[in-house]
């Protein structure tokens, strides 16, 4: 009973026990570019819906055996995205009201004209389009330039989503280079505040003497050099988000000032008698363990609890499995585009080394490495010889679980080199050997062709 048109036409299912009504509506819709299908009973419609993807259902209310209401309930329970138009006879307007309550989106009262039919269908199409645009935008925005498919990153995405839907303060923790700032931006740009500013403030960088004026602003003449009124970060971010980066480095005097704003949502510019109300959301980040700082009396416990309403922990790169390779591809593409050159290929040993490396500098370290490789390596294939020493060594690591003494020694040296970021003198010191011995060990690996 189907008459198919094209793949992008909207698919409409008409359900009515009257063959004549079905034919008229189907002909009209097909003639206007829709893809119309018909069913003569609720039972047929239920089966049809289980096998096909339909955008809009037009159903009669009164049918023998099961009614249109049964179909509406079935659709609402199983296919939340389908738009439903209910057809009802004039005296049954109360049924229409019930149908809308049960989940129909619109109704047509018999007898209706072609124009009324098209209007109703068109309204449904607009609803579908709006919803689909919002959904696809949401999908795009939710990851906001953040690459990652691993379970741990999925968890981060969930937290971002949750944080974006509220005004609560957020505390982002994670080691250096894991992506704390990009997470903070993702929260802001997915929230209702996205059109107001996102203002990053590095708490380490503000000297105590300038602190109040930087955060809360000042009025002309408040102090020597205050030549005019100036807004502080909190006011600049009014309606938006202030990002307090490296909050673990904030001095105790800054902490007490921040606590006051969080409690009262009020600021007083330096030298001003006036108190200003601000609607600024606070997101803070730190690579330090604030609970440790609290124990040492370096961080205020009350501020910690004010900030930590929603916490987001950004995992180390080494905990993200294959995300490393996704990021590698992403950065390789990005930098070769920027450089206007062909995207390089990475040899298997390079990929192995990259996967085995400990990445103490996390995503930023990977990003810098790929950028350097794209810029300096002339050939199309990147080999282990192009990698920094600490990483070249990973290519010959004991990933196969070999317990040969030689391999265990190599693996240990590799770990130490990673720790010292490739600094051989420091590594030799830690290993209790001299640099020459270290070099000859490394050379032995090279000669045995363990990487290349
Ligand atoms: N998941 C990701 N996808 C793509 N790029 C990322 C991702 N995570 C981080 N980056 C990039 O890595 C770099 C470091 O990220 P970011 O500055 O957010 O880290 P951070 O945790 O704030 O580091 P630090 O503690 O050193 O300030 C940035 O260039 C960022 O764009
Ligand atoms: Mg940062």
Looking at residue 293, its pLDDT comes to: 97
Ligand 1 proximity of 179 Cβ (cutoff 6 Å): yes
Q: Find where tokens 């999925």 sit.
A: 154
Ligand (nearest to CA of 152): 1
Looking at the structure, tell me whether residues 304 and 198 fall in a common domain. Answer: yes
For residue 202, give the CATH number of its domain.
3.40.50.300
Looking at the structure, tell me whether residues 57 and 90 fall in a common domain. Answer: yes
Higher confidence at residue 241 or residue 144? 241
Residue 142 lies in a domain: no
**Three-class SS of residue 57?**
strand
> Which of 315, 349, 375 is the last residue before a domain boundary?
315
Band of pLDDT at residue 211, cut at 50, 70 and 90: confident
292 contact partners, CB below 8 Å, separation of at least 6: none
Instruction: Give CA–CA dist 313/291, Å, rounded.
Output: 14
CA nearest to 33, candidates 15, 56, 8: 8
Q: What are the tens digits of pLDDT across the range 78-88?
A: 877 899 999 88
**Three-class SS of residue 435?**
helix
What is the best residue among 153, 177, 203 to mutate for testing ligand 1's pocket, by most ligand atoms within 8 Å of CB?
177
Band of pLDDT at residue 248, cut at 50, 70 and 90: very high
Instruction: Tell me the mean pLDDT in the region 389-416.
Output: 66
Looking at the structure, tell me whether residues 273 and 348 fall in a common domain. Answer: no
Whether 278 and 235 have beta carbons less than 8 Å apart is answered as: yes
**Three-class SS of residue 147?**
coil
SS3 content of the chain, % helix, strand, coil (to 5): 50, 15, 35
Residue 339 lies in a domain: yes
Which residue, by CA, sits nearest to atom 12 of ligand 1? Answer: 364
Average pLDDT across the chain, whole number: 86
State whether the Cα torsion 6-10-11-16 is positive or negative: negative
5 contact partners, CB below 8 Å, separation of at least 6: 30, 33, 34, 35
Looking at the structure, tell me whether residues 228 and 354 fall in a common domain. Answer: no
314 contact partners, CB below 8 Å, separation of at least 6: 156, 172, 173, 174, 178, 179, 180, 183
Question: Domain limits at 381?
Answer: 320-447
Closest atom of ligand 1 to 184 CA is 18
Looking at residue 451, its pLDDT comes to: 36
Residue 60 lies in a domain: yes
Instruction: Give CA–CA dist 54/67, Å, rounded.
Output: 20
Q: What are the tens digits of pLDDT across the range 306-321?
A: 999 899 999 999 999 9
Alpha helices in 144-239, H assignment, sequence order: 151-164, 180-190, 208-216, 233-236
Looking at the structure, tell me whether residues 370 and 422 fall in a common domain. Answer: yes
Ligand (nearest to CA of 177): 1
Q: Residue 303 C-alpha to ligand 2 middle, in angstroms?
A: 20
Give the torsion through C-alpha atoms of 15, 46, 67, 84, to 10 deg. Answer: -60
Whether 219 and 261 have beta carbons less than 8 Å apart is answered as: no
Instruction: Tell me the mean pLDDT in the region 168-178.
Output: 95
For residue 408, give the CATH number of its domain.
1.10.8.60
Ligand 1 proximity of 182 Cβ (cutoff 6 Å): yes
Radius of gyration of the chain (CA): 32
Looking at the structure, tell me whether residues 355 and 221 fall in a common domain. Answer: no
């Amino acid at each position: 009973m189907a008459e198919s048109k094209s793949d992008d036409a909207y698919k409409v299912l008409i359900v009515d026990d009257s063959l004549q009504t079905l034919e008229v509506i189907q002909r009209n819709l097909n003639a206007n570019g829709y893809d119309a299908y018909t069913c003569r009973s609720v039972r047929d419609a239920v089966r049809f819906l289980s096998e096909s993807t339909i955008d809009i259902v037009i159903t009669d209310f009164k049918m023998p055996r099961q009614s249109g209401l049964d179909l509406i309930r079935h659709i609402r329970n199983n296919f939340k995205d389908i738009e439903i138009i209910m057809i009802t006879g004039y005296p049954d307007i109360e049924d229409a009201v019930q149908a809308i309550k049960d989940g129909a989106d619109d109704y047509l009262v018999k007898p209706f004209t072609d124009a009324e039919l098209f209007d109703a269908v068109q309204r449904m199409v607009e609803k579908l389009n709006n919803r689909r645009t919002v959904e696809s935008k949401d999908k795009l925005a939710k990851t906001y330039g953040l690459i990652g498919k691993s379970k741990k990153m999925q968890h981060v995405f969930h937290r971002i989503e949750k944080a974006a839907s509220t005004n609560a303060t957020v505390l982002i923790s994670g080691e250096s280079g894991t992506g704390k700032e990009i997470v903070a931006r993702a929260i802001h740009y997915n929230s209702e505040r996205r059109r107001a500013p996102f203002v990053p403030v590095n708490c380490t960088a503000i000297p105590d003497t300038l602190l109040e004026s930087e955060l809360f602003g000042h009025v002309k003449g408040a102090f020597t050099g205050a030549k005019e009124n100036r807004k502080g970060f909190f006011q600049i971010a009014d309606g938006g988000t202030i990002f307090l980066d490296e909050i673990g480095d904030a001095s105790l005097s800054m902490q007490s000032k921040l606590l006051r704003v969080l409690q009262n949502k009020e600021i007083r510019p330096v030298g001003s008698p006036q108190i200003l109300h601000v609607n600024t959301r606070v997101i803070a980040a730190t690579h330090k363990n604030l609970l440790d700082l609290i124990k040492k009396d370096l961080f205020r416990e009350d501020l910690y609890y004010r900030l930590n309403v929603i916490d987001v922990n950004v995992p180390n790169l080494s905990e993200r499995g294959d995300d490393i390779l996704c990021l590698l591809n992403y950065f390789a593409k990005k930098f070769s585009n920027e450089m206007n050159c062909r995207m390089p290929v990475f040899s298997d040993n390079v990929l192995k080394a990259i996967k085995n490396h400990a990445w103490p500098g996390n995503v930023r370290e990977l990003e810098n490495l790929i950028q350097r490789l794209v810029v300096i390596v002339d050939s199309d294939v990147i080999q282990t010889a192009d990698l920094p020493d600490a990483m070249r060594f990973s290519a010959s690591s004991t990933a196969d679980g070999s317990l040969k003494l030689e391999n265990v020694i190599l693996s240990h040296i590799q770990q130490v080199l990673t720790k010292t970021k490739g600094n051989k003198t420091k590594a030799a010191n830690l290993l209790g050997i001299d640099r020459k011995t270290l070099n000859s060990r490394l050379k032995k690996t090279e000669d045995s062709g363990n990487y290349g």
